[in-house]
Amino acid sequence: MKGRAGNGHGPPVQRYSALSLVRHGLTKGDWPKVWRTHELERSYDVVVIGAGVHGLATAYYLAANHGARRVAVVDKGYVGGGGSGRNTAIVRSNYLTPEGVRFYDRSVRLYQSLAADLNFNIMFAQRGHLTLAHNDGSIRTMRWRAEVNKLEGIDSEVIGPDEIKKLVPFMDTSAHTRYPILGALYHPPGGIVRHDAVNWGYARAADALGVQIHQNTEVLGISVKSGRVTGVTTSQGEISAPTVINCTAGWASLIADMAGVSLPIITHPLQAAVTEPVKMFLEAVVVSGSLHVYVSQTDRGELVFGASTDPYASYSMRGSLEFTEELASHVLELIPSIAKMRVLRQWSGLCDITPDFSPVMGVTPVDGFLVDVGWGTYGFKAGPAAGEAMAELAATGKTPALIAAFDLARFPEGRLVGERGAAAVGH
Ligand code: PYC
């Protein structure tokens, strides 16, 4: 962490270390709160809407990299309660477009040092990532992605069934299945992370630098005067601010509407499920777009599964029996030996999908109102890089080159960044 400044509302967050663990063991004292609560002030320099990984990372980098201190993060729920706590925590950079590959690679690199930067164990495990191909069209897309990845210096290659079997011995790679595996895009730097820890780590580090986190503070309106944002109305009162950043997922277009900004987003639920824990047997993350399934095993031993987005636009976050039934049938085509495992929980999150399956980051027609939205099914892995870039934009007024291609103006201007072919999730 670059700095450590309390904000006069309590003691600064304590550093976690072996020494502090021993000290707490001996004194049996309470650990300080991971982040503090504050009275909502009437004005801030920056108001970030959304206390998920994007909002918290933006606030953290504003404070850590640009010295901003009067920053508030507001959320209608709780830290990490939206998409940031509902995703399947996959991190990778094996995208299809050079812009996408460069952007997600920055995130992978930030994840690599994040535990040390935030002084919080985020359990990032680069276990390797396999995207399976079951037909010639998929093989062609995997080759394309591998070539773009290599040109951008990213470790990705197409491998055959024998190599896949070595990486995932329990997988049925025989030629006799309904959808035989012809090959896979293998991406060794891909892996999984503990998503709650990432949210809490950013919240704690941002708090230590003076950022105020306001949970249960719903944004009800955004004030705009003469084309400039002037503040937000929340369920806890009015706030004036010259910069407001929309870092929400699920409700991004509704929040933008409050500022009079229209976003090309359709929101679909995406369901996921987790099994009981078993001994570690699945090292890599395995994705099959054709079978509409992806699976990884957490360090606790649970299998985490996801499938396609629900086929209708909705803000519902309920799970469905159809999802679990289809998921089970697809997963068992790949790994028949887990047929007896029990599903413990299933849930749903909301994905804001844009026409080109790439996000929208940057300025809007309303001065001072910035957006970091439209992440579809890619949002969690992007949090660190998006937060870093959005903080730079908010602090300097200049759009960083890394996110320039993802501007809102690309839609009317026809400069799309097509990333549908890199989706793990069927759409
Ligand atoms: O893009 O890796 C991904 C992903 C997996 C699940 C949802 N998105």
353-367 pLDDT, tens digit per residue, is 999 999 999 999 999
Q: Give distance in angstroms: CA of 183 to centre of ligand 1.
A: 19
**Mean pLDDT (whole number) for 285-299:** 94
**Ligand 1 closest atom vs CA 423:** 1
92 lines ligand 1 (CB under 6 A): yes
Whole-number pLDDT of residue 4? 37
Going by alpha carbons, the residue nearest to atom 8 of ligand 1 is 377
DSSP-derived pairing of the beta strands 212-214 and 71-74 = parallel
Question: Residue 182: CB partners within 8 Å, gap ≥ 6?
Answer: 133, 134, 135, 136, 138, 139, 160, 161
**Ligand 1 closest atom vs CA 377:** 8
Q: What angle do CA 29, 33, 36 make, to 5 degrees?
A: 145
Going by alpha carbons, the residue nearest to atom 5 of ligand 1 is 424
Has residue 8 got a pLDDT over 70?
A: no
**pLDDT, tens only, 166-194:** 999 999 999 999 999 999 999 999 999 99
Output the pTM of the full model: 0.96
Cα of 239 vs its chain's centroid, Å: 27
Residues 385 and 107: beta-carbon distance below 8 Å: yes
**Mean pLDDT (whole number) for 69-96:** 97
Pocket test for ligand 1, best of 104, 195, 378, 419 (most atoms within 8 A of CB): 378
Pocket test for ligand 1, best of 268, 381, 425, 427 (most atoms within 8 A of CB): 425
Whole-number pLDDT of residue 426? 73
> Chain-wide mean pLDDT for the chain?
94
Cα(316)–Cα(230) distance, rounded to whole angstroms?
32
**Mean pLDDT (whole number) for 406-423:** 96
214 lines ligand 1 (CB under 6 A): no
**Ligand 1 closest atom vs CA 270:** 7
| pLDDT band at 12; cut points 50, 70, 90 | low
Whole-number pLDDT of residue 372? 99
**Lowest-confidence segment of 64-68, 314-318, 414-418 by average pLDDT:** 314-318
Q: Give distance in angstroms: CA of 209 to centre of ligand 1.
A: 31
